[in-house]
Structure 1
Amino acid sequence: MSNNNRILNPKAKNAMDHLKYEVAHDLGLDDDIQERGWENMTTREVGKIGGNMVKRMVSMAEEQMANQQNAQK
């Protein structure tokens, strides 16, 4: 079985880890991660972090695309 959760650009690993912890902090889950560790987080908690990461990445991509569009004008 292949792992679809791998980072496609290895240079982005640190940024992705930072984003993961930033989102967890914003959701109030950072203390839980410190106490229990990632492996003991519930599927719901980890899914909430992942879903919010995707929302932020989409927002960042949209902003970057808008800035590129504005720079071409």
Structure 2
Amino acid sequence: MALGQKRNQMVVPQATAAMEQFKWETANELGIQVPQSGYMGDLPSRVNGAIGGNMVKKMIAAYEQSLAGGAQPPTPQVTNARTTP
């Protein structure tokens, strides 16, 4: 995802490239001009939040669609990788 701190870990590490592509597609749909370098740290929080928020909306819609179609999507096991000091 971003080039800065990486504290969040993917539940399914193999999905990293797909999520990165999903981020760029969502930004494009919102009309947000992403710099060629891919660095988004100089964009306002509101813009980056809009991208993330719309990604979540699309993922929820896809999940609901699969449930409405009778499919039983798998439930991933979520573990907390962070430990508190």
What TM-score results when the alignment is normalised by the length of structure 2?
0.66
- Structure 1 counterpart of 2:55: 53
Distance 1:35 1:18, change over 3 A: closer
Say what the alpha-carbon RMSD is for the aligned residues.
2.1
Distance of 1:60 and 1:42 partners within structure 2? 28
- Structure 2 counterpart of 1:23: 26
Distance of 2:41 and 2:9 partners within structure 1? 17
Q: Quote the offset at 1:60 in angstroms.
A: 0.8
Percent identical among aligned pairs is 36
Q: Which runs of 5+ in 1 are unaligned?
A: none
Deviations 1:1-43 (A, max 9, x none): xx3x3221111112111111111001111x2x21683111110
Q: How many residues align?
A: 65
SS of the residue aligned with 1:38?
A: coil
Q: Which runs of 5+ in 2 are unaligned?
A: 1-6, 73-85
What TM-score results when the alignment is normalised by the length of structure 1?
0.75
Please identify which structure carries the higher helix content: 1
- Structure 1's consecutive aligned runs of 4 or more residues displaced over 2 angstroms after TM superposition are none
